[in-house]
Amino acid sequence: MTHIGDVGPLALGGAPLGNMFEPVSEEDAQATVDAAWARGVRFFDTAPLYGHGVSERRIGRALADRPRDEYVLSTKVGRLLAPTGDAKPDPTIFVDVPPVEPVFDFSRDGTLRSVEASFERLGVDRIDLLHVHDPDDHLDAAEDGAFRALVRLREEGVIRAVGLGTNLTSVANRFVGRVDLDWLLLAGRCTLLDRSGPEEVFDRCIDHDVRILAAGVFNSGVLASPSTDASFFYEPVPADVLARVRRLQVACADYDVPLAAAAIQFPLRMRGVDTVLVGARTAAEVDEDADLLDVPIPVELWNALDAL
């Protein structure tokens, strides 16, 4: 098992830079990474899925002039990008994508091909951390293929660490302690709305020396800007969830604390979590997230939120 050093409390997630939900210009993508760097971010996460390769290319270009030993770069395996020919790619949450479509492949050969393609898109000679991405419906294939391949690449020094990226605690519990993991990237399950990560899997991570990257801290947006138009797990927010968010918002207002500040800081209260992974599409969003981490939150508010 190889350890990556302290990466700080904030990491930049690359999904929005892959044109998630709406287009992002090349200039804004560069400015977003530049702003993250200026705010001390040294952990950058992306994936072939994000914009069907767009995010990897943009993050690679944006970091090209940075000293390679000063930041941690992570991407993922589990989906190969297959050319669509003359056909347009099927609509997904990513827009303005190249003529390729992500196809699940957790085999050893597919994993090695994915890694090679990511190296090319990122334009780097080293990937620090590789996550097996969303193996939810491919558990055996991921265990026998992708994880074995990544452990071998770590042994050979091609990568520094092996991770699992998932939204499901059941998938995390399947692999933590069963394969030689260094990191767990768990999205949406260590939030003000969903505490199943700390309740169901974090102790297991600590027991097996697996570091935890808490992602999806705003639950797709509803905890950042509550409204009937907000998203919750990439779907329209249900009325009962929005009602819960409104109660959290009222509790925060009683202490003059933005709900988003409580949302982004919440995972860092959990044992085993040192870093939150937050996506951004503009420099202003990066600055906003970094500022939210600095908002003082009294223990009385945490107690009120815990009670809710």
Contact 179, 208 (CB under 8 A): no
Task: Read off the pLDDT of residues 153-203 as tens digits, 9 standing for 90 and up.
Answer: 999 999 999 999 999 999 999 999 999 999 999 999 999 999 999 999 999
Q: Give whole-number Cα distances, 303 to 207, 275, 300, in Å.
A: 27, 22, 5
Nearest to 190 by CA among 273, 258, 75, 259: 273
Domain 10-307 classified CATH 3.20.20.100?
Answer: yes
pLDDT tens profile 275-291: 999 999 999 999 999 99
Parallel, antiparallel, or unpaired for β 10-13 and 273-279?
parallel
Q: Check if the beta carbon of residue 292 is closer than 8 Å to that of residue 224.
A: no
Annotation says 234 is catalytic: no
Domain range annotation of the chain? 10-307
- Among the listed residues 50, 71, 234, 255, the single catalytic one is 50
**Among 47, 44, 48, 50, residue whose Cα is nearest residue 64:** 44
Residue type, 193: L
Q: How far apart are the first and last CA of the chain?
A: 39
Q: What is the pLDDT of residues 20-69, one digit of tens each?
A: 999 999 999 999 999 999 999 999 999 999 999 999 999 999 999 999 99
Q: Predicted confidence band at 234 (pLDDT cuts at 50, 70, 90)?
A: confident
